[in-house]
Structure 1
């Protein structure tokens, strides 16, 4: 009886068929081992030398990584971080961390930065990055008003509003597929959202609600948030409105939430003189 190897040597037709089958199996194996954007890791997917970000399944670390890169790009494009008085930076971080600990996502590593710009504005990106401009700090009458704005920005982060907007912008501009987008394109969109593009009305309502509850849980008098929003409706802070649409009933919505009496409103953070002392030298 012929051995299998001897039989193959004598049967050229069968030998050619077996070789073809082996080649096909090798091609399939190589194909399965080759990374594609949809089968690689969640973040920093490497495909033909290009980094990709998955839009539909972004982890907390993915968000922080993306926020870090947006932060770097913002500074490269001229966003100046205030550094003349370390006490001011420490004070803003103190307020921010108090709010963060009582937010809807307390485990996110938040970064609060003061922007050296006298226009009245604040913004947030993703991954816990919040920016408060010096003009807004000066405009606030007390700590509760400032904390209300900061809680609102935290609300944008906990609601993942920037991520949702980046996804929509990437798909609309054609730089993203159904699942992934090039990382550099997403960073550029994140910078545009932070500096130029307004939030949606729905995102503002959601950030107001989240911010109001965050402010109350942190022990602040929630009326400070309402009084600052009334300044917005009075047209005194046009820069803030350029990136934060101002639906006419936002103040009434906040007043309605406040009337429910969920929070004590015992005046915490409303001492104007104490606030002025804390921001002296700004």
Structure 2
């Protein structure tokens, strides 16, 4: 016969085992019942069963963002994004990126800079500090300051949490956003889709430009490099993907030049063409 002390011990173990899961279910249920979604009926059972995996994108933590970025990166690298494996070039891009990060809006994220083996003139960023730059863009840049201007722009997207906002909008449009939030696996899939399709909004691009220009300036790079890179690409016969997916390029150039004129800087670092070409020599 179980003594009283043993009974109390078993009861406490049982309570710990079931109390917190029960609370999670109650909270998820209360959210579902108290937050209406116009035009959409909630399927409560899957939501309750997956409640521990849902994310509130409007209040996502840095750790959650980094975790999502890592998962998105794994899918991208495991499918259609082929990384360029030359250690010298990768180390150089990482060095330029790190120099910018300390002067960015979110310097505490664990940024990851990767070179994509692709001749398209392109660059993009996703959650948690993941920045990608194509070999085609590295070859198109004339100097380090122009490369830094592109990296600073992508860091600006991360600083403005633009991808998080795009994911939230995409999830809402697709009917995947529930009262409790967005399932983590669905969030990863949306992040991968956004990275591949590269949809850009005018507002986000202007914001990333301004954030990037501030980062570029604080780091001591030439401000004019951001403008010169855009102008040079626009003179080509056809706009490269980096600009075709970024609307209002002429207007952005005008806005950047206006900002530079308003707050000029003496920084002229990164304009040495021969030094830059030496750092990316394996791409020649």
- TM-score, normalization: structure 1? 0.82
Q: Pick one of 14, 24, 27 that aligns with 1:35.
A: 24
Task: State the match for 1:227 in structure 2.
Answer: 228
> Are the aligned partners of 1:37 and 1:180 in contact in 2 as well (CA < 8 Å)?
no
> In the aligned structure 2, how far is the partner of 1:60 from the partner of 1:230?
35
Per-residue CA distance 1:81-102 (angstroms, 9 max, x = gap) = 110x211000000000000011
Matched, 1:254 2:243: no
> In the aligned structure 2, how far is the partner of 1:158 from the partner of 1:244?
17
Task: State the match for 2:213 in structure 1.
Answer: 212
> In the aligned structure 2, how far is the partner of 1:143 from the partner of 1:168?
35
Q: Looking at both structures, which has the greater relative contact order when contacts are Cα pairs under 8 Å and sequence separation is at least 6?
A: 2
Higher alpha-carbon deviation: 244-253 or 129-138: 244-253
Task: State the match for 1:53 in structure 2.
Answer: 55
Larger radius of gyration: 1
> Are the aligned partners of 1:125 and 1:194 in contact in 2 as well (CA < 8 Å)?
yes
Tell me the CA shift for residue 197 of structure 1. 3.6
Instruction: Report the aligned-residue RMSD.
Output: 2.3
Task: State the match for 1:86 in structure 2.
Answer: 87
Per-residue CA distance 1:212-258 (angstroms, 9 max, x = gap) = 01000011001111101113433554211243223431111111111
- TM-score, normalization: structure 2? 0.81
> In the aligned structure 1, how far is the partner of 2:98 from the partner of 2:234?
28
Q: Pick one of 62, 65, 70 that aligns with 1:63.
A: 65
1:117-132 equivalence runs, <5 A = 117-132=118-133
1:82-161 equivalence runs, <5 A = 82-83=84-85, 85-161=86-162
Change (3 A) 1:120 1:103: same
Aligned residues: 248
Which runs of no fewer than 5 residues in structure 2 stay unpaired?
1-14, 30-46
> In the aligned structure 2, how far is the partner of 1:279 from the partner of 1:200?
32
